[in-house]
A = this chain, B = another copy of it.
Amino acid sequence: MRCWEEFHLNGYYNTSMQKLAAATGLQKAGLYHHYPTKEDLMRRVMEFALDQFRSYVLAVSTELDLPPEQRLEKLLRRHKKLAILHRRGCFFANIALETGREGLFNEVLKTGMMDWADAVSKILSEYMPAGAAQSEALRLIMEYEGAVLFYKLTAEEEHLEAFIHRAVTNLKRASEHSISLKQV
């Protein structure tokens, strides 16, 4: 959906229905034929974004033919590709911080974040207990979101690249540790 790109580029409040209409090739009234309000349209856009996110990024976590380290790296790298596209960062984080206090879209946003955490946790859990994998996944996502923030501020991809490297290295260390445990 073209509306997604528009919201992603300019945020919720700084995107008018006129802009959205122009982006879709419709007139404003045409847009209102499909969606009753701007808020409602945004909700649909977010569900669309969530679907895209699931099928393009999170789906990597179930590619069981790859070893966990490579799966994690592939997943993160896909997310990075989205983030550096037009230097937009993470759609969910952007909207979350912009509309965070009123919590207009918090439910969908929470779902997206938790799905993300689950996907990463699934990968990690091959090398560590479920509980540890879950909290480590959450921690990784936090660190990643911070890295995206720095990337948006400085335009240096290095922040993202360094994060991916840290994450994968950590997982490799955990892998060695889990193997050595099994050998005992």
Contacts and interface: CB of A to CB of B under 8 A. Distances in A.
A153 B10 CA distance: 21
B113 A101 contact: no
**What's the interface size class on A, roughly?**
35 or more
Given A101-B88, A139-B166, A143-B142, A149 B93 contact: yes
Q: Which of A11, A153, A162: most chain B Cβ within 10 A?
A: A153
Given A101-B86, A101-B88, A147 B142 contact: yes
Interface in A5-19: 9-11, 13-14
Nearest to A152: B100
A180 interface: no
B149 A142 contact: yes
Q: Is the interface of A mostly helix, strand, loop or mixed?
A: helix
Q: Which of A10, A11, A88 has the most CB of B within 10 A?
A: A11
Contacts of A13: 11, 13-14
B11 A152 contact: no
B146 A97 contact: no
Given A98-B98, A101-B9, A146 B152 contact: no
Interface in A82-104: 86-89, 93-94, 96-101
A87 B101 contact: yes
A109 B163 CA distance: 21
A42 interface: no
Given A101-B9, A149-B96, A153-B106, A142 B163 contact: yes
A150 interface: yes
A65 B143 CA distance: 31
